Structure 1
């Protein structure tokens, strides 16, 4: 999968993000020199974790026939030690529905194993970057 981003004309830091058939703006807050036209890259990173937990839980519940009515996910981050190599993310997932204690235990286990959670904690991610000069 390829995600395309392009600087938004006239905006100091904003980019238009294109993912499949979806388009949105990513920007920095005004305090950081942006126009606050959309979530920042850090916010998108954190949101990916919350979204993955919610999607994984709903997928699992549907697959197993567990009666989940709603999922509310909150993601809180602490970047105060990021420059020292520690970035803390806390997720809180509230699940409503009619399910047993055993089913709730299964859902809890799934929340800890969503693919993005694994990417953030248990996988070595290799990033390569190519920078090219645009043709005149």
Structure 2
């Protein structure tokens, strides 16, 4: 398969409440009350952490048979350090995460060496993990400004 373009659109609904859509799916994104939101959904940085955990989980499910690893339970815990003073322009620190950590929890009877090889493969084939670890060229395509008709 060749390069595939994925697309999402995020629309401000009110205050800092955003609806993001991709294909026929929608997700509500908001900020906690202490950051001016209504706490209706995950905030963008929590969503990024969730995307990494979901990607690792999906990659594991996709490749488990290839490594002859079965499991009864699988989940990924993800956490990251972020100084919100960077986002709020209160300090000269980066607005993004300085470190993201994850831990895979697996209930399996497979031998440890098989699990280690399996999880190393999953880590190396997770698109979200690869993007976070290796960066991506982020390109602004400008802004489309529309003047309302009176």
> TM-score, normalization: structure 2?
0.79
Give the Cα separation in 2 of the matches to 1:92 and 1:36: 26
The reply to whether residue 53 of structure 1 matches residue 56 of structure 2 is yes
How many residues are paired up? 134
Pairing 1:91–2:96 present: no
Structure 1 unaligned residues grouped into runs of 5+: none
Cα displacement (A) at 1:23: 1.1
Q: CA deviation at 1:86?
A: 5.7
Unaligned runs of 5+ in 2: 1-5, 87-92
Distance in 1, matches of 2:80 and 2:28, equals: 21
**Residues 86 and 78 from structure 1, CA distance in 2 versus in 1: closer, same or farther, beyond 3 angstroms?**
closer
Q: Structure 1 residue 121 and structure 2 residue 136: aligned?
A: no
Contact persistence 2:80–2:97 (CA under 8 A): no
Q: Who is 2:121 aligned against?
A: 110
Q: Is the 8 A contact 2:64 2:118 kept in 1?
A: yes
1:64-122 Cα offsets, whole Å, 9 max, x none, are 33212221211111113962476211101111122122211112212432221111112
Q: TM-score, structure 1 length as denominator?
A: 0.86
8 Å CA contact 2:64–2:70 kept in 1: the answer is yes
Structure 1's 65 and 21: CA in aligned 2 closer, same or farther, altered over 3 A?
A: farther
